[in-house]
Amino acid sequence: MTSKPVLWITRRISDASIERAKKSYDCIINYEDRLYSADEIIEMSSRVDAILPCHSEVFRGDTVEKLHPRVKIIANHSVGVDHCDIPALKARGIAVTNTPDVLSDATAELAFLLMLGAARRAVEGDRMVRKGEWDFWSPAFMVGKQVSGSRIGIIGMGRVGQAMARNARGFGMEVHYHNRSRLSDDKEMGAVFHEDLDSLLGVSDFLSLHCPATPETTDLMNAERIAMMPDGAVLVNSARGALVDEDALIVALESGKLSAAGLDCFVSEPGGNPKFSKLDNVFMLPHIGSATVTTRDAMGFRALDNLDAFFSGNEPKDLL
């Protein structure tokens, strides 16, 4: 009887995904859901044929160089792969996959929550009611920024960006976008393409980031670019923390240049930036863009689809 490949599942993925994985693989599962050090990742690699990690496990530098030759594939439980040095892994003969498509709607849904919460001063209002401090009303009380009918700028019109655009149209928003290339008419759906990022910033009452973190996009939204946005605009980031110069954003929020921000990701994770917690005009969540039952199951299954294809001698659908 042929033995099953040994699969290391580095974090606590969905129960349905674990149940399926056990049918085809001898699984080592991190039921404690703790974070492994680089040394532990290297040590574990000698015991497994495949690794199913999340964004929390970093495969760069010495970690890649010291991975045991037994490891043949890293099937990421994520869309973003900035935690992986893909050229270095390929040079070691290790296949790398991700899980696109399946989390687009959930992430765009959360981005819209961030936008609404930031625009309508949800942090201030929630705190006020919870503390029993709501003892006043007037027409000038808790006035926020209206989303419906406003202009939204989207940076990165991939799957999540397109889902965000669909949501925005439901609110009657005028959609503008910047992307590496212009979309086809059927995907663009009337959105206004800006080949130049700076021209997009100038018309964005709301700006939502949906591009990957790369050396080119690190600190994409810096002080200079934030200054190009309309006064009182709202910045939303549900993509990667590295896209935003957080000090520049704080200055803009404190000065009133930006009226608010909605953030699901930060330069330092987990934990975030404690400076933001002092600002009532920042609506924050702990990087939970894809955190729905439906999406977590779909991500696990997509990663397993890639593993199944690989160990069947076929090319995984999401091979990078």
Instruction: Give the pLDDT mean for 185-206.
Output: 97
- Which residues are designated catalytic? 240, 269, 287
pLDDT digits (tens, 9 = 90+) for 63-103: 999 999 999 999 999 998 989 999 999 999 999 999 999 99
Instruction: Give the pLDDT mean for 182-204.
Output: 97
Instruction: Evaluate the CA torsion angle 105, 109, 114, 120 in order and state its sign.
Output: positive
pLDDT of 118 higher than 60:
yes
Report the Cα 227 to chain-centroid distance in Å: 25
Contacts 24+ apart (CB under 8 A), 179-185: 183/157
pLDDT of 232 higher than 60:
yes
Instruction: Evaluate the CA torsion angle 115, 116, 121, 125 in order and state its sign.
Output: negative
pLDDT of 2 higher than 80:
no
Look up residue 46 and give its two tokens. Answer: 């000698």
| Spatial CA neighbour of 303 closest among 95, 41, 156 | 95
pLDDT of 290 higher than 70:
yes
Q: What is the CA radius of gyration of the chain?
A: 21
Give the integer Cα–Cα distance in Å for 180 and 157.
Answer: 9
More confident residue, 176 or 214: 176
| Secondary structure of 160-208 in HEC code, one letter for each residue | HHHHHHHHHHHCCCEEEEECCCCCCHHHHCCCEECCCHHHHHCCCCEEE
pLDDT digits (tens, 9 = 90+) for 127-140: 999 999 999 999 99
Instruction: Give the pLDDT mean for 265-291.
Output: 96
Q: Which domains does the chain have, with CATH numbers?
A: 6-102+293-311 (3.40.50.720), 104-284 (3.40.50.720)
Percentage of the chain surpassing pLDDT 90? 97
Instruction: Give the pLDDT mean for 149-154.
Output: 98
Instruction: Give the pLDDT mean for 41-62.
Output: 97
pLDDT of residue 80: 86
pLDDT of 1 higher than 80:
no
pLDDT of residue 238: 97
Secondary-structure percent of the chain, ordered helix, strand, coil, rounded to 5: 40, 15, 45
Please provide the average confidence, as pLDDT, over all residues in the chain: 96
pLDDT digits (tens, 9 = 90+) for 7-17: 999 999 999 99
pLDDT digits (tens, 9 = 90+) for 242-277: 999 999 999 999 999 999 999 999 999 999 999 999
Instruction: Give the pLDDT mean for 166-189.
Output: 97
Look up residue 134 and give its two tokens. Answer: 């709501």
Phi, psi of 182, deg, nearest 5 = -75, 140
